Structure 1
Amino acid sequence: MPPRREPRRSAEPSFPDVAQLGEAIATAIQSALRPPQRTPLETMYNLKLDKFEGHEGFEGAERWLKHIEKTFRVLHNQGNLPVEKWVETTSWFLGKDSASWWEQEVRRLSPAEMTDWDVFRELFWRRFVPPEYIDRKKQKFTELRQGKLTANEYYRRFTDLPRYHPDVSGNPAEMLRRFRLGTKKK
């Protein structure tokens, strides 16, 4: 009968424990599958946000700011972008002309105002979305009738335009009255 050999012990340094080896492999796989942490600016660039040059027109300016703000809200809710960084991050997406405008504005602001998103939005609207544009949109809402529009198209316009007329949009009874007034009678 051959001599009896003692089983190898896992305590020997040259032979790793199978359980430890399995845990190490699992950890390596998980870290490979987990995406790397990105800075808010990297995240913004990966979203392929457009630069605002300053000559996109009133609707283009409004659309751009709305898109930036919506993106920031999502990033903020995920804990990736604090509100205090919104203005600084936005400045990365200003083109040459609009960046020059913002640099001029910054010179007149206090340090607290420079990082206040509401101040930035107000100044942006004042510069790129003039009151005349808002007045035309209010007028469109006031005169909105279904006419040849489909019911869906009328509803879409009716729910989009009130943001220019906050006095009416804040009153549900007035909104209902205006909706009925504008629809076709059937």
Structure 2
Amino acid sequence: MSPRRYTRRSVPAPPSEVPEQAGPPEVPESAGPSEVQDLLAQVIALAGQFGRLQELMEQQMAAATATATGNRDPPAPSMRALEVAEGECIAAVPVAARPSPASVPLAASGSTTLDAAAEEAERERGYTALTRFMKFHPPTFDGEVIDPWTVETWLAMIETLFEDIYTREQDKVHLAAHCFDKRARVWWRRVKQDRSPDLPPVDWEEFRGLMFVEYFPDSDKRKMREDFRKLKQGNRTVREYEREFTHLLNCVPDVARTEQDWAECFVRGLRPEIFRMVHAFKFRTFAEVLDRALWVKHENACVREEREAFEEDKGKKRPGDSCS
């Protein structure tokens, strides 16, 4: 009896020993050229699709990083879930991201809010100033009579009211324009329309100048310039002379533009006895000249009173008795 032969059966490898990823398919030795070409084409296509998938994942990670850095909510996914089908290649279907609604930057929004609040507060302040001003019934100006004296009188009354109620410089023109009527209101509307937007708002000094230009004819200006050059104190007091001097100077300010010019013109018109006492000090400001002239006038008045009193006492003396 012949001995038995044992055939060794192959045992499959345990699961831990199975490779995690299968390598490229083995080409049977009996495969033909066409089958080999098909397998190679599949391998190349699979490698290209894996490369594109890797690029998409890198783009998604970059977008997520940028979103986290900007402290914003994560954007909508840029592609749908990957669809995996057995026996098919892995593909990613891109989906256009839905644009988020435009938002105003916090800094710009805050600045806009502050500007609006400041503008509203300024309107309220201006309305309060106008209401307070009109309670004092300021004089109106209609511009019907073209007379520099009328213009100066109206401006002086308005400026006095400004001082009494402590009006801010930026409100003066706006408040004074509310007192215009008839032709003056039409004129002021035209001035505002013709003014270039590039220029700053009209201040009070420019406002005064515009009024004198409009309501002060050139013929009157020439006459006032001549009157100013010929102005003398005469029989008037220093205060009366000073009021006339200031009035003409306000109407034709171009005749004396500096403080020293004012002082020299004022001194030239003083009476000789006052002129000598003031001119000797060579004052350079109008205030100094006026103060000195008032002092000299007071001293002269005292001397004159003393002289008159002396003459009066002398006349009252009785003549001495004659010798017999």
1:133 corresponds in structure 2 to 220
Q: Structure 2-normalised TM-score?
A: 0.37
Within the alignment, does 1:71 sit opposite 2:157 as a pair?
A: no
2:193 corresponds in structure 1 to 107
- Greater RCO, 1 or 2 (C-alpha within 8 Å, sep 6+): 1
Whole-angstrom CA distance in 2 between matches of 1:53 and 1:114: 26
Whole-angstrom CA distance in 2 between matches of 1:120 and 1:47: 22
After TM superposition, the structure 1 = structure 2 runs for residues 11-26 of structure 1, keeping only pairs within 5 Å, are none
Of 11, 30, 45, which aligns to 2:134?
Answer: 45
2:207 corresponds in structure 1 to 120
Contact 2:228 2:248 in 1 (8 A): yes
What value does the CA root-mean-square deviation take over the aligned residues? 3.4
Following TM superposition, by how much is the alpha carbon of 1:59 offset from its aligned partner in structure 2, in angstroms?
A: 0.8
Following TM superposition, by how much is the alpha carbon of 1:101 offset from its aligned partner in structure 2, in angstroms?
A: 0.8
Contact 1:162 1:168 in 2 (8 A): no
Q: Percent identity?
A: 23
1:176 corresponds in structure 2 to 267
Task: Mark the runs of 5 or more structure 2 residues left unpaired by the alignment.
Answer: 1-126, 276-299, 301-324
Summarize the Cα distance change of 1:173–1:154 in structure 2 as closer, same or farther, 3 Å threshold. Answer: closer
The one-letter amino acid of 1:166's match is A
Number of equivalent positions: 145
Following TM superposition, by how much is the alpha carbon of 1:53 offset from its aligned partner in structure 2, in angstroms?
A: 0.4
Contact 1:84 1:115 in 2 (8 A): no
Within the alignment, does 1:62 sit opposite 2:152 as a pair?
A: yes
Whole-angstrom CA distance in 1 between matches of 2:195 and 2:158: 22
Following TM superposition, by how much is the alpha carbon of 1:112 offset from its aligned partner in structure 2, in angstroms?
A: 6.4
Task: Mark the runs of 5 or more structure 1 residues left unpaired by the alignment.
Answer: 1-37
Q: Structure 1-normalised TM-score?
A: 0.60
Of 176, 180, 184, which aligns to 1:90?
Answer: 176
Summarize the Cα distance change of 1:157–1:85 in structure 2 as closer, same or farther, 3 Å threshold. Answer: closer
Following TM superposition, by how much is the alpha carbon of 1:168 offset from its aligned partner in structure 2, in angstroms?
A: 7.5
Larger radius of gyration: 2
